[in-house]
Structure 1
Amino acid sequence: MQTLLDQANQSLGRLDGVTLLLPDPDQFIYTFVRKEAVLSSQIEGTQSSLSDLLLFEHDATPGLLREDAQETANYIAALNHGLAQIARPGAPPLSARLLREVHGRLLQSGRGSQQTPGEFRRTQNWIGGSRPGLARFVSPPAHEVIPAIAALERFIHDEPQATPILIKAAFAHAQFESIHPFLDGNGRIGRLLITLLLCSEGVMRSPLLYLSLYFKRHREDYYEHLQRVRTDGDWESWLEFFLQGVIDVAESTTRTTQRLVAMIESDRQSIHAFGRGAATAHRVHDLAARFVLLGAPQVAEQLELTSPPVYAAIDRLERAGILREATGRRRGKLYVYGEYLAILNEGTEPQ
């Protein structure tokens, strides 16, 4: 187990080190947060893809997918709120209060919005089955939720003793899922808890590690390990599964980030050859690398340019194969950084 823990810490360190080489870490955080939102929401049954989410944020999602895309967008709002709160100077340690705030944003609209957002449950819930007697797992009674969350909060705060951060994150996630403190959204909040813990304790400079891809690919094992913690107290197998996930995701995210950096630089070199108009094309390309999907009015506003040079730059980038039109519309066209999106899309296809 110690060897696996050492490997996980090393993989996490390498991923964190990559952020030091990025010209603009926020550029990658924007897109990785959206990939995590899609994956974590898909585990709960939504069918929207990363492309659907990006179109939704530009008010261009097909009607049938709008509700799923709204749930995914709520996840982004919840994560961003949590990250902003823990990043404040003098911010208190990660707390139950913050988790309630994050939950309130997660369920602010769409499915689940009637399930007391931001409040711990006052009634019984369970996992699987139409009633507790048929359930795969029955969570603690409602009157035990607040004491159980208080105990979890003390553990997170290293009371009575400190716990290595990756072990803490693994145990905190499993315990949170077993308490199931909310009527809805527990899985997503539990996965957010992992990221918030790693960032609040300074393990990562930028929030680039998200385990939802690993949990999605190994969904049945994920649920089975959590269940064995509850029924058999098998914390060791859960910890091995979790640490292997950290290794796999940290290494794959490191490779993905390196691929994106190399691709962006290669495209910049291609833009150099544009000659006249290359300067504007470079600026548009920089925005595409940050937002992946964009429209000409958005670009003109961001760059404080008039429409003609923006449309000319987009046309050059489209002819070079860097951007492509994503909507098929005659008006309100949107352009996607195709290869960038293809790399991010790996593993995010709805099942």
Structure 2
Amino acid sequence: MNNFWLPKLPPAIDLETKQILKKTITANRKLAELKGVINTIPNAAILINTLYIQEAKDSSAIENIVTTYDEIYKQNLFADLIKNPAVKEVENYAHALQTGFQLVKQQGFLSLNHIRTIQQEIVQNEAGFRKQLGTQLKNEQTGEIIYTPPQNYLMINQLLNNLEQYINVPNDDLDPLIRMAIIHYQFESIHPFYDGNGRTGRIINILYLILNQLLDLPALYLSRYITRNKADYYRLLQEVRDKNNWEAWVHYMLDAVEQTSEQTIAIIIEIKTIMMDYKNRLKKTLPKIYSQDLLNNLFKHPYTKIGFIKKDLNVSRKTATKYLDILVEDGFLQKEKVWKTSYYINQPLLNLIVSAFRE
């Protein structure tokens, strides 16, 4: 498709159809359930450190940046020894998500400057919003031009200012989940950056839910759903542009919220189950070293090391080493090595993460 005139928001169409309203109710119900379950985890860092990585991994995979959990966790432990470019991209995304979360929590809104900061953390450059002509979206297999986003810098800025206004002061009474779908479509269609648009847009989704108090933590990761339904994702985006088919697009995003919420609830419950098992066994077999801080460390870091224990428990290196050796001996951790340096895996937690998010 050639140049496409992108209207400003809100869309000039009724989005409160019977089908959408019905789906909005079930999606909101499941999201509220997730919010409640999240609040039962005693340490938020446990969810953040496991689920952030999952979202970063899946969102990057949509852009054909593929890596494994083992590679990600090892590089987190040994950044000076391991240099994997794909893992670095995933880490950049995770940092950008954390940055965005802190910005909206502290300031209570999401500005264009915030969005630019998020994108800069993802791509690690300061090129900013597009000023040069030539950006086109193409079919990866055929090279066919599918969509040409706005090219004029003034038009891009006008559309972005309109989007910023809609995010923070919407001039309609739509449900926030419907608005999230609208915002995501508009951002992807403006395509304001030279690179990192998709990943930035997916972070905006989560931040918008937090702004609207639908979540307290960025623990709903839609990228898994999008990865599994990638062809529909791009097809339905384009159908809004070509056919003004908003209903199918909004329904897709609502289904993403509902299904991802349900999956995340199940994962959190499993994490809690494994944690409780570890807690009971530690108290019974290793009461002299048990503490809540130790338990939190083992679940905050699926791959841990002496330095993490030393810092989190405020103990000496000698004591941290002793604790880890005891935990290995009693079957709580599995000891591995990178070169001559040891690291320790919480295998039940790792097995859960890998199996829960396996394609």
Partner of 2:46: 27
Q: Secondary structure at the match of 2:341?
A: coil
Structure 2 stretches lacking a partner, 5+ long:
1-18
Matched with 2:290 is 279
Identity %: 24
Residue 348 of structure 1, CA deviation: 4.7
Which residue is equivalent to 2:319?
A: 309
Using the TM superposition, give the Cα deviation of residue 96 of structure 1 relative to its aligned residue in structure 2, in angstroms. 1.5
Q: Alpha-carbon deviation of 1:283?
A: 4.3
Residue correspondence of structure 1 range 74-153 to structure 2 within 5 A: 74-88=92-106, 91-108=107-124, 113=125, 116-128=126-138, 134-143=144-153, 144-153=155-164
Structure 2 match to 1:53: 72
Letter paired with 1:178:
S
332, 343, 356: which one aligns with 1:334:
343
TM-score normalised by L of structure 1:
0.89
Q: Which residue of 1 aligns with 2:14?
A: none
Secondary structure at 1:318 match in 2: helix
TM-score, length basis structure 2: 0.87
Q: What RMSD in Å do the two structures reach over aligned CA positions? A: 2.3
Contact preservation (8 Å) 2:180, 2:205:
yes
Contact conserved, 2:138 with 2:147, CA < 8 A, in 1?
Answer: yes
Aligned to 1:325: 335
Q: 1:264 to 1:117 in 2, by over 3 A?
A: farther
Shift of 1:273: 2.6
Give the structure 2 partner of residue 4 of structure 1: 23
Cα 1:296–1:124 change in 2 (3 A) is same
| 2:269 paired with 1:269 | no
1:73 aligned to 2:91?
A: yes
Q: Which residue of 2 aligns with 1:239?
A: 250
Which blocks of at least 5 consecutive residues in structure 1 are unaligned?
none
Amino acid at match of 1:69: V
User: d(CA) in 2 for partners of 1:248 and 1:186?
Assistant: 24
Q: Aligned with 1:285: secondary structure?
A: helix
Q: Secondary structure of 2:133's match? A: coil
User: Structure 1 residues 234, 313: closer, same or farther in 2, change over 3 A?
Assistant: same
Q: 1:117 to 1:320 in 2, by over 3 A?
A: farther
Question: For the structure 1 residues 138 and 261, does the alpha-carbon distance in structure 2 shift closer, same or farther, using more than 3 Å as the test?
Answer: same
Per-residue deviation, 1:218: 1.0
SS at match of 1:136: strand
Distance in 2, matches of 1:348 and 1:124, equals 37
CA–CA distance in structure 2, aligned partners of residues 61 and 346 of structure 1: 29
Does structure 2 conserve the Cα–Cα contact (< 8 Å) formed by 1:107 and 1:117? no
C-alpha distance in 2 between matches for 1:193 and 1:85: 12
- Residue aligned with 1:322, SS: coil
